Amino acid sequence: MKRYKHNSESHVTFSELMLPSHSNFGGKIHGGYILNLMDQIAFACASKHSGHYCVTASIGSVDFLNPIEIGELVTMKASINYVGRSSMVVGIRVDSENIQTGEVKHCNSSFFTMVAKSKDGSVSKDVPGLIMKTNTDVRRFLESTIRNEQRKSYHTTFDKETFDHAKHLDKLDGQNVEIQL
């Protein structure tokens, strides 16, 4: 019998104070450090939902909306937005808070596709289905399916074996490029 879980059963939230050791040369928190934390919370959320070891299969776009300053408290929230047979899409939101003023900034959001694996990592494992209780649950699930379809379409359109640049020259009009084929 297939098991189902609501995404609230897998929610993960954590906060961390940003230290000078996390900063880049510009004095802001290094984006790579934030991505590392996002990967960790995606793993925790997916593992909690699936009950298995999970690996990162892909990361959706990550737009750094606001810089994170040294001394701010970063809070990440992760939840399961979509499940397939062995894959899950984990939605992650990153906020930072100036703990002196209380100002909270949305810094970025992203979607990590995680795959449940056996302990040795050799076999994909089935994951529980998703119980959707709210309009938001359904919207997030459908948005994930649309992103997946768009990704597949992109890979089909720009397949390296069949790609013909002449079919796409109109997309290059007005771009800062010169074609010398």
DSSP states of 2-34 as a string? --EEEGGGT-EEEEEE--GGGB-TTSBBPHHHH
What pTM was estimated for this model as a whole?
0.88
Is the per-residue pLDDT at 1 higher than 70? no
Query: Which pLDDT score is estimated for 165?
Result: 87
Domain regions of the chain by residue span: 4-164
Burial 6-34 (b: 16+ CB within 10 A, else e): bbeebebeeeeebeeebbeeeebbbeebb
For the segment 88-99, the average pLDDT, to the nearest whole number, is 98
Query: Which pLDDT score is estimated for 65?
Result: 96
pLDDT tens digit sequence for 35-52: 999 999 999 999 999 999
CATH 3.10.310.10 fits 4-164, yes or no: no
pLDDT tens digit sequence for 51-72: 999 999 999 989 999 999 999 9
